[in-house]
A and B are shown apart, each in its own frame.
Chain A
Amino acid sequence: MDKRKLEENFFIGMMIASTLLVLGGLMSVLIVVLLRGAPALSISMLTQTPKGGYYLGKEGGVLNAIVGSIYLACGATAIALVISLPTALYLSEHARKSKLGSFARQSLDVLWSVPSIIYGVFGFTIMVYLGMRASLLGGIVALALLELPIMTRVMDEVMKMVPSKTKEASYALGATKAETALNVICRQALPGIVMAVLLAFGRAIGDAASVLFTAGYTDYIPRSLFDPAASLPLAVFFQLGTPFPEVQQRAYASGFILLVIVLSLSVASRFLAKRSARYVIR
């Protein structure tokens, strides 16, 4: 076999092997978590709050953490969306080449890679300053900060890809910049916007460090924005830290529940992105 053919086969082999490695990683995580958590998985895990305390309790479920996580991630995503959509429109439409634009992009990229514990500590400092206790609101704000750079930068990139001739079609009919942004840019970029939102949501629902100090942890379902809120990543963290095997199994079960939520979200996002791509101009 000649050298070029050999080279070609080598690279194809590399690509297949690395893809399998990634898939294998995902599968083994799922299998290990499922096997370890299986003894503790039951309907009551999903429908009850913990009995005997979240740290040592062996009875009841993690409904407090499931509901808490959903509240936290939904609230944070809503806030982040409201802020990042206009920011991304500004960056991609008005500040594409300006100094402010590139400075903002650079800052967002740095923020994206800031570890989430920093957001947690930052949120905590602000809350202490304001005299607030750990609460759902505090957690939501910290997670929104975590989500903002992800959402904004992804949206910025997809909006930059909207063809100028499509925008021109709108301007040429006498549309204003705002009308064009809402009706044309957002629609054309919709599949990407959906992906941005779900990517950020996934990051938020799986994050432990930023909610540790800000949302706290509790055995109860929060009744107001000022109650502390539990979350699944912290449920895993606390239960795994106990010396009791039964409680450790509950940690894996909680982890499995979190994985199922994230996986179904990712499936739903693919479906949504595909549906919203129906009218997109290619």
Chain B
Amino acid sequence: MSKPHISIEKLNVFYEGKHVLKDITLDIPEKQITAIIGPSGCGKTTLLRCLNRLVDLVDGVRVSGKVSFDGTDVFNNGVEITNIRKKMGLIAQTPNPLPMSIYDNIAYGPRIHGLKDRTKLDHIVERCLETAGLWSEVKDRLGEPASKLSIGQQQRLCLARALTVEPEVLLCDEPTSALDPISARHIEEQLLALKVDYTIVFVTHVLRQARRLADYVVLLYLGELIEYGPAETVFSQPSDPRTKAYIEGVFG
């Protein structure tokens, strides 16, 4: 296994008294795609949202344990969470463009982090849209509202936006579940290409997608981690009988 980029130790999450993640310990390897799979309600999204502490925004959440990223504990009170979030881009389940133009959506991240130079911004906008495979479709209408794009284009816009602040990690929360098959394939292809430069954590409930993309697989079941390892091993020789049952489609 390559060098761990994020280390999770004994992570527990309680949501209004309900124990939603139980003693999760795992290392997420650098510049690989790690897929978090499991039936709905097993805590996949919660685990993902713990990594950049978006879980903070939910009322009534209590977290214990440790998430180390670049040597700092994300949940340490002294930590500047905006810096952590800058280093971890998020692609949500449904596209979430900001209420502004296509250009401003992409320029938003660099701008809040202090970049004002128009030429540099132009450059970032072009480069990130290019990487997300959207540039040719929108280059003549950057001033239009982002909400006018199709859903598939919006999701690629969100991918481009996540890349603008030069993250090290991309957190993807079922990023293709709201998309048509062609747009979904676009996103998958881009993620595979981005693996060279980014650590990708990918939540999905589609097993075939995990097989196509993942280098490592994490299987959660009712808030517990029941299987973790290289994708091939997990899919061919699972160690836990529940994994085998899940992969064979007995539940989920």
Chain B 58-110 residues near chain A, CB threshold 8 A: 59, 82-86, 88-90, 92, 94, 96-101, 108-109
**Which one of A12-20, A181-189, A244-252 is at the B interface?**
A181-189
Asked whether B57 is an interface residue with its Cβ less than 8 Å from the other chain, the reply is yes
| Contact, CB under 8 Å: B112 / A175 | yes
Alpha-carbon separation in the docked complex, A163 to B82 (Å): 21
| Contact, CB under 8 Å: A97 / B59 | yes
Asked whether A109 is an interface residue with its Cβ less than 8 Å from the other chain, the reply is no
Q: Which B residue sits closest to A185, measured CB to CB?
A: B99
Contact of B108 among A96, A170, A188, A190 (CB under 8 A): A170
B129: A residues at CB distance < 8 A: none
Q: A176-B82, A279-B145 are in contact. Are A170 and B59 (CB under 8 A)?
A: no
Chain A 75-96 residues near chain B, CB threshold 8 A: 96
- Chain B residue total in the interface (Cβ 8 A): 32
Q: How far apart are A275's CB and chain B's nearest CB, in angstroms?
A: 12
Contact of A164 among B57, B89, B100, B162 (CB under 8 A): B57
Q: Which B residue sits closest to A187, measured CB to CB?
A: B99
| Contact, CB under 8 Å: A172 / B99 | no
Q: Which A residue sits closest to B80, measured CB to CB?
A: A174
| Contact, CB under 8 Å: A184 / B98 | yes
A280: B residues at CB distance < 8 A: 99, 145, 147
Alpha-carbon separation in the docked complex, A278 to B98 (Å): 12
| Contact, CB under 8 Å: B52 / A173 | no
Alpha-carbon separation in the docked complex, A279 to B54 (Å): 25
B-facing mask of A241-282, CB < 8 A → 1, else 0?
000000000000000000000000000000000000011111
Q: A165-B94, A183-B108, A281-B147 are in contact. Are A175 and B82 (CB under 8 A)?
A: yes
Chain A 166-212 residues near chain B, CB threshold 8 A: 166-176, 179, 183-184, 187-188, 190
Q: A176-B82, A188-B99 are in contact. Are A171 and B165 (CB under 8 A)?
A: no
B83: A residues at CB distance < 8 A: 174
B147: A residues at CB distance < 8 A: 279-282
Alpha-carbon separation in the docked complex, A176 to B86 (Å): 11
Interface residues of chain A: helix, strand, loop or mixed (majority) = helix
| Contact, CB under 8 Å: B54 / A168 | yes
Q: How far apart are A95's CB and chain B's nearest CB, in angstroms?
A: 12
Contact of B113 among A171, A174, A282 (CB under 8 A): A174
Asked whether B158 is an interface residue with its Cβ less than 8 Å from the other chain, the reply is yes
| Contact, CB under 8 Å: A168 / B112 | no
Asked whether B44 is an interface residue with its Cβ less than 8 Å from the other chain, the reply is no
Q: How far apart are A55's CB and chain B's nearest CB, in angstroms?
A: 52
| Contact, CB under 8 Å: A174 / B96 | no
Contact of B92 among A169, A187, A188, A278 (CB under 8 A): A169
Alpha-carbon separation in the docked complex, A278 to B121 (Å): 23
A278: B residues at CB distance < 8 A: 145
| Contact, CB under 8 Å: B145 / A174 | no
Q: A165-B92, A278-B145, A280-B147 are in contact. Are A171 and B54 (CB under 8 A)?
A: yes
B108: A residues at CB distance < 8 A: 170, 173, 175, 183
| Contact, CB under 8 Å: B99 / A168 | no
Q: A97-B59, A174-B112, A183-B108 are in contact. Are A169 and B82 (CB under 8 A)?
A: no
Alpha-carbon separation in the docked complex, A202 to B54 (Å): 41
Q: Which B residue sits closest to A162, measured CB to CB?
A: B99
Asked whether B156 is an interface residue with its Cβ less than 8 Å from the other chain, the reply is no
Asked whether B161 is an interface residue with its Cβ less than 8 Å from the other chain, the reply is yes
Alpha-carbon separation in the docked complex, A280 to B101 (Å): 10
B-facing mask of A23-66, CB < 8 A → 1, else 0?
00000000000000000000000000000000000000000000
A279: B residues at CB distance < 8 A: 99-101, 145-147
Q: How far apart are B129's CB and chain A's nearest CB, in angstroms?
A: 16
Q: How far apart are A77's CB and chain B's nearest CB, in angstroms?
A: 24
**Which residues of B pack against A, CB within 8 Å?**
52, 54, 57, 59, 82-86, 88-90, 92, 94, 96-101, 108-109, 112-113, 145-147, 158, 161-162, 164-165
- Complex A-B, nearest 4 residue pairs according to Cβ-Cβ distance, in ascending order: A174-B86, A172-B90, A173-B109, A174-B82
**Which residues of A pack against B, CB within 8 Å?**
96-97, 163-176, 179, 183-184, 187-188, 190, 278-282
10 examples of A-B residue contacts, CB within 8 angstroms: A163-B96, A165-B92, A168-B90, A169-B92, A172-B92, A174-B82, A174-B83, A183-B112, A184-B99, A281-B96
